Amino acid sequence: MMEQKELSVRRSIPFKEQMHILKRIMTFGKPYKKQFAVAIFFSVALAISTAALPRIIQLFIDNHLTTGDLSLSIILTFAGLHFGVTLIRLTVWYLELYLFNMASEKTVQNIRNQLFEKLHTLGMRFFDQTSTGWLITRVTNDTEAMKDFWNVFLNIMQGVFGVVISLGAMFLLDVTVTLWILIFAPVLLIVIRIYQVYSSKTYSEMKSKLSLLNTKLAETINGISIIQQFRQEKRLQKEFEETNQSYFDSRFSMTKINALLLSPVINLLYTLSVVVILTIFGLEALTGPVEVGIIYAFTTYANNFFRPLTRLMDSMSLFQDGIVSSSRILTVMDNEQYAPAQLDKEDAHIEEGKIEFKNVSFSYDGKNNVLKNISFTVNPGETIALVGHTGSGKSSIINVLMRFYDFDEGEVLIDGRSIKEFPMRELRQRTGLVLQDSFLFYGTIKDNIRLLNESITDREIIEAARFVQADKFIEELPGQYDAKVVERGASFSSGQKQLISFASTIVRDPKILILDEATANIDTETEALIQEGLQRMRKGRTTVAIAHRLSTIRDADQILVLDNGHIIERGTHDELIDSGGQYKDMYELQNLGLQTQ
Amino acid sequence: MDIFKRLGWFFKQEKKSYLLGVAGLMIVAVLQLIPPRIIGIVVDEIETDVLTEQSLLQWMLILTSTAVLQYILRYMWRVNIWGNAAKLEQIVRKQLYDHFTNMDNTFFQKYRAGDLMAHATNDLRGLRMVAGGGVLTMADAISVGLTTLLAMLFVVDWRLTLIAVIPLPFLALTSRILGQRLHLRFRDAQAAFSQLNDKVQESIQGIKVMKTFGQEKEDVEKFENQTDNVVLKNKAVYKIDSLFDPAITLIMGLSYVLTIIVGGYLIMGDEISIGDFVTFINYIGMLVWPMFAIGRLFNIIERGSASYDRIENLLREDSAINERQGAIDEPISGTLSFDIEAFSYPDDEMVALHHVSFNIEQGQTLGIVGKTGAGKTSIMKLLLREYDNYKGTIRYGGYDIKDYTLDALLKQIGYVPQDNYLFSTTIRENIRFADPTLSQEAVEAAAKLADIHDDIMELPEGYDTEVGERGVSLSGGQKQRISIARAILINPELMILDDSLSAVDAKTEESILSGLKEIREGQTTIIAAHRISSVMHAEEIIVIEKGTIIERGTHSELLAHGGWYEDMYNQQQLERKLEGEDY
């Protein structure tokens, strides 16, 4: 969906930049340069064998047919020769196509793998700022478009070799006539240029209209109940038909441009070149002898010269697409919003789970601090609760603690060592974050609890599920722990999803637990299980909890009230109520609100 | 070939341009024969020394004029035939779109969004291929093939022709067989690609989870397995795909060999001239395309007719929701009486609703509470005539809602659904979705009532901010409030809030509800909610469980009654006392 927006505002990339992009994207094909080289070799061989065929017939005509020096064995020799070259030709052709396609396929795979790997090195800052749809399109469709892009080169290669070798063959036969044929070269270049100018504009217009059309269609299907409820069918039908019509219009202009400037014009030029060839040879024949086989050979070479051009011109719009796709892929590759770098001290292990923030300041944009001079200590096994409005800095503390973002000032220590010293894997695996909305992956329940960590045994999975009391509903499923989880876990209630994600956290036995509590409505029965699961998980673990439901954190060892990036109050629930600050105010306001209703 | 008959309506409709196109094609087919013949004649005239300046000039003039004529005709048939193909696509696309907008819920449950999209893109392409490529191939293959063959037979030599064309039918056969194989392998490759797609989608959407568990390396490995699979499947495709051109070469090569042998033999016996031979070799080359095209034609037709089958199947689906003949066009008003004996969703044995009845006087409010899945939304769906297959009646102002026109009913209902679907356009257009001609003032008034105006003003472009995939992402509560504004704007006789305040805090809820009460004096409202506070002021509250009403009354009656409602109320009150709501 992102695509058509970009296409519609697509600026034309200057030539120099295009070449630069091309050069860079080509480096992904480097590991396969041998295959490409062999494919190119076969491409040359193909062009040569193609040029050899008319030559054989020309020799047959001029040396035997016209002279009458003909016998069955001569005929069979030439037939055999012709067929032999044909066999060579089809073999090299097959190899050329197959090898080239495979090499470009592998290049695409290489781009994909590197792009995907790159994504995993990027920090949350990048993912928070980038639409997922946009990103998915980069990894799948843009890389897929690369195949067409490489194909353009195959076409160009075949075209250029075809043209050059046909010309070479003509030169060998007759220099004067070949020079005459060359007068078509500037004409051709002009046609190609005109075609390029007109087609590229219309083509991109057509493409962006098509995606607009499909976006509208998709939106209508997804939003159908709203449309029908508001009785907007007629209006949207009309709007759709307008887009449909305008797509047709640009498709039709594209057809016209192609009909005007593509194969019909190439055909015209070819026939005119035959006129030139025949005229010259004819005039020569008036004054002296002419070998007629050469006329045949020349007309065939002229055909070989012009024929590949249609395909070459046709693929030029794909070249533009390829450049656009490449530049988008490179944008992601060049992104430097890396995940925060760690010092990776081998001996850094999280044993106790003591957390200290010392005068930590942090901003997302480098200007406005969202955390200002935050200090607190959580002793091993204790629970700290963070309370505050949306935007007060609760989530930012978690972002800092999980190293999703790098902080700017101050120190964050775990077990007395800077958080930067721990290898990322150690940090992440010893810290269990339970997210607000649980995300389930396609696969089985087991896969979702194990989450790619193959060292976790089935028994551990079952124990973890039992521990958070997810076992009851899981065991009722068909297939139990092997039950299928469809995309995003759509068949489970949000409470059940939460329990599964608890299990996947607890199976890793983290020392530190970070809870970003769900605000969504969860049915009452599961809610009780969740609350109990949370209590159980917190036992023996250092816990940092963002609380929306104060009932779950009333027993916290410490509550921090955040406002605008500052800690404005701290203490236990009772202390905060006693001290009569904002915490108490808010608390009372709520109660008051309830009474008046 | 059946597909051509089935598309007959279109060919008839575009008769003129198809005739022009096909006529153009045929004339080109004949004109194409001239250059090789002229080459042959000139060769012969040179060979026999009869060429004169005048005859050369004459031949060249003919050649030049056929070239120009060909150019004009080629342009003509291309524009006509390809233009028609695009037109067919446009027409059928419109049919599909209009059809989709008129379909009921059952239809959209039966066909998933992705499938419908695939029909509207891939199948349309298949159809366009028939109307363009199919017609072209058929007309061209027949006219070029036939005229060339005739020219070879009668202008050159019939014996040579009969022998030289022996290998050519294999060309048609080969292109047909390879095409079929390729299609199957291509499908596998597509499937592998779409698996890869799913993987990427999941990894990116679940990136935070991935990071949280520190399993990036394993995820990359898993991804690489997928790309390996894609390469493997495409390898199978290329093995076949790369065979097309070489196979043509082989078969043509055989024809050339036969031509050289037989042609040489005939020249030896002075049966044909060298010019004939040259002409003939050029003609052979011209037969490649028609023969190859015939094979391709089968594939185009096969796929096109499968596509058209699927499209026609979709178009054949009927909506169960229809307006009765002479339905009441007067907008609904008055008392709403809902009296359902039983209702189940189509193709579902479970009873969704049974014995649910209530009356709402004009201007009153009904509250519906109950657990998720108890049946609250089902009630709304029946009111909105999303399903008609229930036992019982729903009356508005004394008339069955099925007796009203859909306009009379639905235009008077402002429904705010649970899932807040917004369109990828500006916030303004989303709010005035029901009527894009409404003024900014009206939009703002509705937004203010829904308590979303301030939020909108804080966005970078205010009401012009784009939402959805391409624009800013809004919170669930913001989306809910925009949906509410969208419903408020039509000033509906009946407003339905279907758990639409779940993501806003208590204070905002209170202000929205009291605002609504004020402007909706004399109009009817139904509020379904999880939170008791949303419905406590209603004239009547019903508690739904397992598809039926288990308790009913006013707030105080229900509290006095002491049941599910009271339990829920106490529990929620306790919760609210303990927690700071969502401050």
Q: At residue B412, what is the residue type?
A: Q
> What burial class does residue A580 get, using C-beta atoms within 10 Å of its C-beta: 0-12 exposed, 13-18 middle, 19+ buried?
exposed
Q: What is the DSSP letter of B404?
A: B
DSSP code, position A421: G
**What structural domains does chain B harbor?**
10-316 (1.20.1560.10), 331-412+494-500+523-578 (3.40.50.300), 416-491 (3.40.50.300)
Partners of B392 in the β-ladder: B340
**First vs last C-alpha separation in chain B:** 69
Instruction: Using the predicted structure, report yes or no on whether residue B192 has a pLDDT greater than 80.
Output: yes
Separation of alpha carbons A382 and A385, rounded Å: 10
Class of domain A355-596: alpha beta
Q: Give CA angle at A483 (A474, A528), nearest 5°.
A: 25
CA distance A16 to chain B (A): 30
User: How far is Cα A91 from Cα A95, in angstroms, rounded to an integer?
Assistant: 6
Return the axis-axis angle of helices B274-316 and B34-47, rounded to nearest 10°.
Answer: 170
Check residue A37 and give its pLDDT: 93
ipTM at complex level: 0.85
Looking at the DSSP assignment, which residues form a beta bridge with residue A216?
Answer: none
Q: Which of B104, B204, B533 best probes binding to A when mutated, by most A CB atoms within 10 angstroms?
A: B204
Place of tokens 């090898």: A99
Residues of B in contact with A94 (CB under 8 A): 242-243, 245-246
Q: Rounded to an integer, what distance in angstroms lies between the CA atom of residue A410 and that of residue B581?
A: 32
Provide the residue type at B89 as one letter: E
Query: A253 near A199, Cβ under 8 Å?
Result: no
B-chain CB neighbours of A520 within 8 Å are: 502-503
Q: Which two tokens stand for residue B428?
A: 């303004």
Under an 8 A CB cutoff, do A247 and B90 touch? yes
Give the residue-averaged pLDDT of B407-436.
86
Residue B83 pLDDT greater than 60, yes or no: yes
- Residue B402 per-residue DSSP state: G
Burial of B440 (0-12, 13-18, 19+ CB in 10 A): exposed
DSSP state of B248: H
Token readout for B199 is 């993987």
Residue B271 to residue B267: CA distance in whole angstroms? 6
* Cα A379 from Cα A512, distance rounded (Å): 11
Site of tokens 């890396």: A338
Which residues on B lie below 8 Å from A307 (Cβ)?
none
Residues of each domain in chain A carrying CATH 1.20.1560.10? 16-333
Cβ distance of A105 and B68 shorter than 8 Å:
no
DSSP lists the bridge partners of residue B415 as B496
Spell out the residues 6+ positions from residue B325 whose beta carbon is closer than 8 angstroms to its own: none
CATH architecture assignment, domain A16-333: Up-down Bundle (1.20)
* Tens digit of each residue's pLDDT, chain A (597 residues): 333 334 334 456 778 888 888 899 999 989 999 999 999 999 999 999 989 998 998 998 888 888 878 888 888 999 999 999 999 999 999 999 999 999 999 999 999 999 988 888 888 878 877 777 778 888 888 888 888 888 888 888 888 898 899 999 999 988 988 998 888 889 888 988 898 888 888 888 888 888 888 888 888 888 888 888 888 888 999 999 999 999 999 999 999 998 898 889 988 999 999 999 999 988 888 888 888 888 889 888 988 888 888 888 878 778 878 888 898 888 888 888 777 778 777 787 888 888 888 888 888 777 778 888 888 888 888 888 888 776 678 888 888 888 888 888 888 888 888 888 888 888 888 888 887 667 777 778 888 788 777 778 888 888 788 787 777 778 777 778 887 776 666 667 667 777 888 888 888 888 888 887 665 455 656 777 777 777 787 788 888 888 766 666 677 888 888 888 888 888 888 888 888 777 776 666 555 444 433
Tokens 């046709």 map to which residue? A314
Give B-chain residues touching A279 at CB under 8 angstroms: 56, 60
Q: How far is CA B309 from CA A190, B2, B114, B303, B315, in A?
A: 46, 11, 18, 10, 10
Please say whether the beta carbons of A425 and A350 come within 8 A.
Answer: no
What single-letter DSSP state applies at residue B328? B
Give CA–CA dist B495/B515, Å, rounded: 13
CB nearest to A224's CB, from B108, B215, B278? B108
CB-based contact B63 A229, cutoff 8 Å: no
Q: Secondary structure of B516-558 in the HEC alphabet? A: HHHHCCCCEEEEEECCHHHHCCCCEEEEEECCEEEEEECHHHH
* Radius of gyration over every alpha carbon of chain B, rounded to an integer in angstroms: 36
* Residue A584 near residue A565 (C-beta atoms within 8 A): no
Q: Which helix (H) or strand (E) holds A278?
A: helix A263-287
Residues B451-473: what's their mean pLDDT?
Answer: 79
Which of A67, A82, A228, A589 is best to mutate for the B interface (most B CBs within 10 A)?
A228
Distance between B439 CA and the closest CA of chain A, angstroms: 18
The token pair that represents A125 in the structure block:
């800052």
- Smallest Cβ distance to A255: which of B82, B502, B530? B82
Residue with tokens 């989530």: A395
Quote the DSSP letter at residue A27. G
| Beta strands B390-396; B399-400: pairing state | antiparallel
DSSP-based helix, strand, coil % in chain A, nearest 5 = 65, 10, 20
By residue count, chain A amounts to 597
Q: Does B384 touch chain A (CB under 8 A)?
A: yes
**How long is chain B?**
583
B337: left (phi over 0), alpha (psi -120 to 50) or beta: beta
Q: Which whole-number Å values give the CA distances from A104 to A35, A97, A113, A116, B182, in the listed order?
A: 9, 11, 14, 18, 19
DSSP B444-493: HHHHHHTT-HHHHHHSTTGGG-BBSTTSBPPPHHHHHHHHHHHHHTT--S
Report the range out of A213-227, B61-75, B239-253 with the highest average pLDDT: B61-75
CA B35 to mean position of chain CA atoms: 47
Chain A's closest residue to B264, CA to CA, is A75
Determine the pLDDT at residue B470. 56
Residue of B nearest to A440 (CA): B206
How much is the average pLDDT of B270-285?
Answer: 87
CA A19 to chain B, closest CA, distance in angstroms equals 28
Where in the sequence of chain A do the CATH 3.40.50.300 domains occur? Answer: 355-596
Q: Are strands A417-418 and A409-414 parallel, antiparallel or unpaired?
A: antiparallel
Question: Cα–Cα distance between B46 and B40 in angstroms, integer?
Answer: 10
The bridge status of strand A369-378 relative to strand B336-343 is: unpaired
